[in-house]
């Protein structure tokens, strides 16, 4: 081994830097804001369904496409943007996702009918769907390894913030201007501001190396060392072939690889993502319409849903506290089925407004214990070479379920089986997923990742 080869690599230098809020913390905050807009936009589907149902006189099955088009766009964007990022750069993709979202959200607000509205919502969802995988990747690459676990867990805390903001802002809009178009347009203004701020985030050094742009990579790493006050030392750049390479062609190779790795574990990951997030998206998408049907005024329904989302911040805190104490599987086994059971209780007490509000707050707390633990658990089930692909494909599958699940829910299940039984069936899917996990998936608490 030569003297140069004995030097630490540039990516090791970045991983061992001290944490500074003005440097890595800035990237965490900017990345987290993208995740926040993902939550805001998904929650907005629940606001738009009752408003557009009245505006365009939509049947429930037609209104369901408001959420379905958006979520399917996100599902496509979730795995496509990884390859786009390899072509145009992590930093450019980091900003472009929000720009695409902002432009087509404005188009949606100006749409003349439900067909064009759904088309624009699909494209906006496609743009925003890239935020989660691209943001997590970029934040993770710049975060020191000692803080990476806590930082990536804390990223999920942006979700209830965005979901709550959507409810509170929408309630304020409808209480003043009473125009559904402003619930969309008002979201675009801060999104464009974040897009502009994201332009200041440096490009990933590993991406620069993979493209042979080594001098740029050196400037980025040396700049990070200087701004964080890290130890100045000699280091080397990894060879370009060591950097991960993504392409449209190997997307589906990775799909095959995650199943070949261990089909039972992959089935557990997909089932957990599908069932637990289906329960969450059913509530997020249809709860305002359910509450309005039960006699709540629209503003009160939006505020109640916002409260349900806001209390989830406490759930994320509890999840971060428990996840290393009790293990991942136990938390998911309890909070997943329990969140579905609480929705059944909500359906049974709809005639008692105070009880509905109470149980929705409990639901928002419990389900946001489950979701961040789910994210951490699934990412730990795979080896390093498959970790991103394993998580990404499970996430894509959940988005597809979240898109078509509510459509089936409102078109068939709710009219024929009633609200309580519909939620109960979703709960059965969670229980089956948990039982499969208990039998075939390992506990990852304290394990060394390879």
Length of the chain, in residues: 450
Chain-centroid distance, C-alpha 103: 21
Q: Which residue has the tokens 């994210």?
A: 375
Please state which architecture CATH assigns to domain 18-198+247-440: Up-down Bundle (1.20)
pLDDT score for 439: 93
Which is it for the CA torsion 161, 164, 169, 170, positive or negative?
A: positive
What the block records as the tokens of 426 is 């979703």
Q: What is the pLDDT along the chain (450 residues), one digit of tens a residue?
A: 555 556 776 667 777 788 888 888 888 888 888 778 888 988 899 899 999 999 999 988 888 899 889 888 988 887 777 667 666 776 777 778 888 989 999 999 999 999 999 999 999 999 887 777 667 667 777 778 777 666 766 777 888 899 899 999 999 999 898 899 999 999 888 888 787 877 777 877 767 766 777 788 788 888 888 888 777 776 666 665 544 454 555 556 667 888 888 999 999 999 999 999 999 988 988 899 999 999 999 899 999 999 999 999 999 889 878 877 888 899 999 999 999 999 999 999 999 999 999 999 999 999 999 998 888 788 778 875 677 677 778 877 887 777 788 788 888 888 899 999 999 999 999 999 999 999 999 888 766 555
Q: Where are the alpha helices (DSSP H) in 199-262?
A: 205-210, 214-228, 248-261
- Note whether 38 and 130 are within 8 A (CB): no
What does the buried/exposed string (b/e) look like for 257-270 if buried means 16 or more CB atoms within 10 Å of the residue's CB?
bbeebbeebbbbbb
Query: Taking the domains of the chain in order of start, what are their residue ranges?
Result: 18-198+247-440
Q: Maximum CA pair distance of the chain?
A: 76
| SS3 state at 265 | helix
Residues forming a β-bridge with 9 = 236
From residue 241, give the alpha-carbon distance in Å to each of 3, 137, 245: 20, 19, 8
Distance CA 97, CA 331 (A): 33
Token digits of residue 91: 């930093």
């Amino acid at each position: 081994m030569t003297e140069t080869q004995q030097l630490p690599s540039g990516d090791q230098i970045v991983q061992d830097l001290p944490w500074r809020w003005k440097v890595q913390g800035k990237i965490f905050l900017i990345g987290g804001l993208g995740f926040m807009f993902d939550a805001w936009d998904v929650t907005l589907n629940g606001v738009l369904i009752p408003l557009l149902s009245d505006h365009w006189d939509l049947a429930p099955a037609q209104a369901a496409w408001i959420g379905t088009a958006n979520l399917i766009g996100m599902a496509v964007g979730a795995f496509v943007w990884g390859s786009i990022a390899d072509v145009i750069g992590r930093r450019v993709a980091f900003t472009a996702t929000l720009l695409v979202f902002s432009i087509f959200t404005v188009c949606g607000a100006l749409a003349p009918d439900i067909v064009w509205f759904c088309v624009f919502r699909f494209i906006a969802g496609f743009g925003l769907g890239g935020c989660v995988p691209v943001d997590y990747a970029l934040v993770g690459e710049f975060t020191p390894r000692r803080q990476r676990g806590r930082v990536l867990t804390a990223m999920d805390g942006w979700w209830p913030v965005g979901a709550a903001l959507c409810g509170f802002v929408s309630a304020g809009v409808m209480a003043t201007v009473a125009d559904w178009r402003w619930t969309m347009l008002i979201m675009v203004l801060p999104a464009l501001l974040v897009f502009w701020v994201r332009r200041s985030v440096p490009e990933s050094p590993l991406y620069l190396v993979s493209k042979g742009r080594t001098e740029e990579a050196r400037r980025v790493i040396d700049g990070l060392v200087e701004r964080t006050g890290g130890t100045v030392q000699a280091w080397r750049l990894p060879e370009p072939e060591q950097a991960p390479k993504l392409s449209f062609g190997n997307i589906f190779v990775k799909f095959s690889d995650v199943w070949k790795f261990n089909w039972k574990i992959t089935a557990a990951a997909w089932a957990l993502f599908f069932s637990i997030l289906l329960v969450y998206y059913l509530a997020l998408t249809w709860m305002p319409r359910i509450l309005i049907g039960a006699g709540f005024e629209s503003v009160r329904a939006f505020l109640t849903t916002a409260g349900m989302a806001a209390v989830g911040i406490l759930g994320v805190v509890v999840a971060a506290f428990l996840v290393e104490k009790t293990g991942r599987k136990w938390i998911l086994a309890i909070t997943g089925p329990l969140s579905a059971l609480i929705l059944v209780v909500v359906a049974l007490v709809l005639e008692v407004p105070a009880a509905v509000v109470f149980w929705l707050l409990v639901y928002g707390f419990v389900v946001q214990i489950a979701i961040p633990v789910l994210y951490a658990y699934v990412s730990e089930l795979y080896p390093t070479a498959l970790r991103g692909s394993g998580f990404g494909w499970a996430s894509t599958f959940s988005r597809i379920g979240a898109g078509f699940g509510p459509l089936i829910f409102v078109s068939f299940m709710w009219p024929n089986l009633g609200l309580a039984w519909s939620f109960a069936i979703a709960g059965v899917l969670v229980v089956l997923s948990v039982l499969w996990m208990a039998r075939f998936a390992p506990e990852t608490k304290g394990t060394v990742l390879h």
